[in-house]
Amino acid sequence: MPKRPKPLVLVVDDESEIRLILRKFLEFLGYDVEEAGSGADALNTALLLRPDAILLDHRLPDVEGFETYRNMTRAGLKIPTALMSGLPEFEVDTDGSELCRFLQKPISFDNLGEFMEQLLAEST
């Protein structure tokens, strides 16, 4: 697959307002952005577009966020992903071999640019 001029980030959240806010800020930072509102849509979009990174809400209406991430890895996708959650004591249960990180909601836009650079560095 040819290199894109700008990294593509898939933002997955069931709340359209959150997707819009993240889209606008990520576009301001220079990223291309696609959106999905459910786990099933996220998987289909990721399979079709092969984004460079994914911001994935923990609570989705159909499939829990980490299960959506696992479905993506089972489908052969190895995309750096950040699970977003507003839960104060949320933990990502990984074995350390997965490209999954955690992003606390509400998201600090002061640090999101650096966070995205680190997340995208994991794909190289």
3-state SS, the chain, equals CCCCCCCEEEEECCCHHHHHHHHHHHHHCCCEEEEECCHHHHHHHHHHHCCCEEEEECCCCCCCHHHHHHHHHHCCCCCCEEEEECCCCCCCCCCCCCCEEEEECCCCHHHHHHHHHHHHHCCC
pLDDT at residue 72, as a whole number:
95
pTM: 0.89
Q: Select the more confidently predicted residue: 76 or 124.
A: 76
pLDDT at residue 17, as a whole number:
96
In a domain, 123, yes or no: no
Instruction: Please give the residue range of the domain that contains residue 67.
Output: 8-112
Would you say residue 7 has pLDDT above 70?
yes
pLDDT at residue 1, as a whole number:
55
In a domain, 3, yes or no: no
Would you say residue 97 has pLDDT above 50?
no
In a domain, 38, yes or no: yes
- With a CB cutoff of 8 Å and minimum separation 6, the contacts of 4 are 32, 52
Number of structural domains (the chain) is: 1
Cα separation, 16 vs 19, in Å, equals: 5
Q: The domain spanning residue 24 has which CATH number? A: 3.40.50.2300
pLDDT digits (tens, 9 = 90+) for 12-69: 999 999 999 999 999 999 999 999 999 999 999 999 999 999 999 998 999 988 899 9
